[in-house]
Amino acid sequence: MGSNSSPSNTIPVVSTFASPFQNSHQPDATRKALSLWPGMYHSPVTNALWEARSKIFERLLDPPVDAPPQSQLLTKTPSQTRTTVLYNFSTDYILREQYRNPWNEVRIGKLLEDLDALAGTISVKHCSDDDSMTRPLLLVTASVDKMVLKKPISVDIDLRMVGAVIWVGRSSIEIQLEVTQSTNESCDASETIALTANFIFVARDSKTGKAAPVNRLSPETEQEKLFYEEAEARSKLRKMKKIYDRKEIENGDVNRLAALLTEGRILCDMPALADRDTILLRDTRLENSMICQPQQRNIHGRIFGGFLMLRAFELAFSTAYAFAGMMPYFLEVDHVDFLRPVDVGDFLRFKACVLYTELEHSDQPLINVEVVAHVTRPELRSSEVSNTFYFTFTVRPEAKSLKNGSRIRKVVPATEEEARRILERMDAESLRILKIPSN
């Protein structure tokens, strides 16, 4: 294009991102912290949540020289941390379009981002000691204990997201979140729970990087006490599960392993004789990769956990869609551990597969998708697992009615390693159902 373009053809581009430091009265400190501002990729709700904790952010980014750690732990109540986010979908057209998916429902991946940001804001509230002279804690997402979608979420009706701290350990915090929406567009309609989630955050000393104690929690109401007891049970279960998983790996289950491998070997060695309703795990795989960009970072300069969940979810959805040949419907995310932080510039690979299917109920077959995120360093010839996600989908009833006679296949392993992954996941799910009290 020539250099003599008319100025009237120039389209100005302006930033719509509001800096959390724009009201700061210390311009020099603000300029010093510019390199660590949160990235500009994130959703409007995530940006709003980060603005809400701007004063704490400033302390996180630029604490006093040799600031001491918090000297005395405080005791707080769940109500002190309770935070609500309201999505005005019914009146805000632009917001509605930012969250709309192709089926006129809320884009679940964007909601995962916001849930993580809200949980982070709540954990910061709980750990704050309101003393600007002490060294602030770094709070990172350790895991998502459970996330369940209870009903479809419309993008045309206002949505409410509420969360609070329900339990604390020595250096860990559990935050329970609920997403509610009216059953219809009437203002008088009662709100029902559309989604529930439990996040675990851990506190680190910002100077040493070691685990740091967090403020205590004192539940007041009967419901708060019940939530605390249930969270305590889940904490014990997580510890028990680690021991259980190790024993499973040591002892194994020879008969179940052999049965799974037998089916897989028939497909590998005698495909013409194999059951037409089975498919090898490796034939369900999808993969994508990316270089982590500065726009995706959080306040600590690392890649925002909610962004990783968004990318994993959308790959899992695509994997389930390609596998079923019908539109999948998301049901839940099972326990997610954030094993390794992801930094700006990391080469991240997401590998997804259908791990197994549950076909006992033909009206609601379950498709269990595993997504593993690897931080890959080509120059070092290394690859480390950052996160493993487990998503459960079914198929939409309207999609099934359009494909009469279609069947969801049974997934079988081709290798012993694949068979072990399938069995360990099935056993972990069985243990969760048996042991975890329902909220």
Note the pLDDT tens digit of each residue in 173-189. Answer: 999 999 999 876 545 55
Mean pLDDT of 324-353: 90
At residue 224, does pLDDT exceed 70?
yes
CA dist., res. 222 & res. 219, Å (int):
8
Sorting pLDDT into bands at 50, 70 and 90, what band is 36?
very low
Mean pLDDT of 415-434: 78
Least Cα distance to 122 among 160, 176, 169, 71 occurs for 176
- Which listed CATH number (3.30.460.80, 3.10.129.10, 3.40.50.10540, 3.40.50.300) goes with 12-218? 3.10.129.10
Q: Is it true that 12-218 and 252-435 share their CATH fold?
A: yes
Note the pLDDT tens digit of each residue in 271-313. Answer: 777 778 889 999 999 999 999 888 777 766 788 788 899 999 9
- Which listed CATH number (3.40.50.720, 3.10.129.10, 3.40.50.300, 3.30.1300.10) goes with 252-435? 3.10.129.10
Give a three-class secondary structure readout of the chain: CCCCCCHHHCCCCCCCCCCCCCCCCCHHHHHHCHHHCCCCCCCHHHHHHHHHCHHHHHHHHCCCCCCCECCCCCEECHHHHCEEEEECCCCCHHHHHHHECCCCEECHHHHHHHHHHHHHHHHHHHHCCCCCCCECEEEEEEEEEEEEECCCCECCCCEEEEEEEEEECCCEEEEEEEEEEECCCCCCCCEEEEEEEEEEEEEEECCCCCECCCCEECCCCHHHHHHHHHHHHHHHHHHHHHHHHHHHHHHCCHHHHHHHHHHHHHHHHCHHHCCCCEEEHHHHCEEEEEECCHHHECCCCEECHHHHHHHHHHHHHHHHHHHHCCCEEEEEECCEEECCCCECCCEEEEEEEEEEEECCCCCCCEEEEEEEEEEEEHHHCEEEEEEEEEEEEEECHHHHHHCCCCCCCEEECCCHHHHHHHHHHHHHHHHHHHHCCCC
pLDDT at position 407: 77
Note the pLDDT tens digit of each residue in 3-33. Answer: 554 455 554 544 444 444 454 444 444 443 4
CA dist., res. 169 & res. 328, Å (int):
37
At residue 364, does pLDDT exceed 80?
yes
At position 96, the amino acid (one-letter code) is R
Cα-to-chain-centroid distance, residue 195: 13
CA dist., res. 426 & res. 334, Å (int):
12
pLDDT at position 295: 77
Note the pLDDT tens digit of each residue in 131-163. Answer: 556 677 788 888 888 899 999 999 999 999 999
pLDDT at position 54: 57
At position 52, the amino acid (one-letter code) is A
Residue showing tokens 């005395």: 72
Provide the residue ranges of all domains of the chain, joining segments of one domain with +: 12-218, 252-435
- Ranking 75-79, 128-132, 167-171, 303-307 by mean pLDDT, the lowest is 128-132
At residue 414, does pLDDT exceed 50?
yes
pLDDT at position 14: 42
At residue 80, does pLDDT exceed 60?
yes
At residue 127, does pLDDT exceed 90?
no
At position 304, the amino acid (one-letter code) is F
Percent of the chain exceeding pLDDT 70 equals 74
Residue showing tokens 């329902």: 438
Are 371 and 350 in contact by the 8 Å Cβ rule? The answer is: yes
Mean pLDDT of 61-79: 73
CB atoms within 10 A of CB 158: 18
pLDDT at position 13: 44
- Ranking 62-76, 121-135, 139-153, 375-389 by mean pLDDT, the lowest is 62-76
